[in-house]
Amino acid sequence: ETTSFSDNQENAGPVPTGPAFSVETVLRAESICKTFDGHRVLRNVSLTVERGELVSIIGPSGCGKSTFLRCLNFLEIPDTGAVTIADDSIRRDGGPWRSSDEAQAHQLRAHVGMVFQSFNLFPHRTVLDNVMLAPQVVKHVAASVIEAEARDLLAKVGLEAAALRYPATLSGGQQQRAAIARALAMRPDVMLYDEPTSALDPRVAEEVLEVMRALDREGMTQIVVTHDMRFARAASDRIVFMEAGEIVEIGDPDEIYVNAHDPRTREFLGASL
């Protein structure tokens, strides 16, 4: 995709083309459909995310937000549709899921860092070991190299002093920041968060949100399922509103919050604000 500057009157002349003017798509989901027990949970959900974007997904409980996020890295297997992340792509045609598909999913997941509501750190490992583990096992990089990088990541999330502590001794906000550092250690192209602050009290949640804002400033691509409307509005480049297994509306925050086109979006936001 190439950005066109042809309607910019001040720069009349040759239209610039080439890589310097193209936006880079990091993730593309095409017509994702998912059924659980005969119940259609996702209906043709499509989303394209450019590098560096922070996209928030909002919508009522049970509308399919988590299922969609999990389909993006094949923690749930879509029935039909396609997911492309960086240079890996998987297309589903409704057929059975084979071991060769699982190998492809493994490659696709290498581009993704995932953060859950419930932290999910390894309880019997220190914070530092939690961050170092996946790159050591998956990428076979020397521990000394990974340790330096892991300590940098812990500093980035404000946990350098907690490196040798165990998860249970940390606050929820610290555990979630450790979980973010652990996901970043795999150098993902995109970070996915499923309600990362829902289990936290507001003050502690703010520390986690600040880490996400800092990652945004550094150019990380992030997709966040959230109930935090204030964060969604203030921090997102775009907001996706889902209802009943569909994307109803996608827009920039002011468009969605001030001037939503769809009555379902307006009704949801009216009830949430």
Rg (CA), the chain: 20
**Minimum distance, C-beta of residue 248 to ligand ADP, in the bound complex (Å):** 13
Provide the mask over 58-77, with x wherever binding to ligand ADP is found by CB under 6 A and - wherever it is not.
-x-xxxxxxx----------
Contacting ligand ADP within 7-46 (CB under 6 A) = 36-37, 41
Buried-state track 76-95, b at ≥16 Cβ within 10 A, e below 16: bebbbbbbbbbebebebeee
Check: CB of residue 26 under 8 Å from CB of residue 112: no
State which residue, 73 or 84, has the beta carbon closest to Mg ion: 73
State which residue, 66 or 222, has the beta carbon closest to ligand ADP: 66
State which residue, 180 or 225, has the beta carbon closest to Mg ion: 225
Number of residues binding to Mg ion, judged by CB under 5 A? 1
Chosen from ligand ADP, Mg ion, none, partner binding at 87 (C-beta under 5 to 8 Å by type): none
The beta strand positions in the chain, using DSSP E, are 25-36, 39-50, 54-58, 80-85, 88-93, 112-115, 190-194, 221-225, 238-243, 246-251
Chosen from Mg ion, ligand ADP, none, partner binding at 85 (C-beta under 5 to 8 Å by type): none
State which residue, 66 or 84, has the beta carbon closest to Mg ion: 66
Q: Report the candidate in 204, 194, 195 with the shortest Cα–Cα distance to residue 171.
A: 204
Number of residues binding to ligand ADP, judged by CB under 6 A? 11
Measured between alpha carbons, how far is 147 from 87 in angstroms, rounded to an integer?
A: 28
**Minimum distance, C-beta of residue 92 to ligand ADP, in the bound complex (Å):** 17
State which residue, 47 or 86, has the beta carbon closest to ligand ADP: 47
State which residue, 22 or 198, has the beta carbon closest to Mg ion: 198
Provide the mask over 73-112, with x wherever binding to ligand ADP is found by CB under 6 A and - wherever it is not.
----------------------------------------
Measured between alpha carbons, how far is 82 from 6 in angstroms, rounded to an integer?
A: 32
**Minimum distance, C-beta of residue 75 to Mg ion, in the bound complex (Å):** 12
Measured between alpha carbons, how far is 209 from 176 in angstroms, rounded to an integer?
A: 10
Chosen from Mg ion, ligand ADP, none, partner binding at 64 (C-beta under 5 to 8 Å by type): ligand ADP
Check: CB of residue 126 under 8 Å from CB of residue 145: no
Contacting Mg ion within 48-67 (CB under 5 A) = 66
The residues near 237 (Cβ < 8 Å, ≥ 6 apart) are 53, 54, 55, 252
**Minimum distance, C-beta of residue 257 to Mg ion, in the bound complex (Å):** 21
Residue 131 parent element (H or E)? helix 127-134
Binding site for ligand ADP (CB under 6 A): 36-37, 41, 59, 61-67
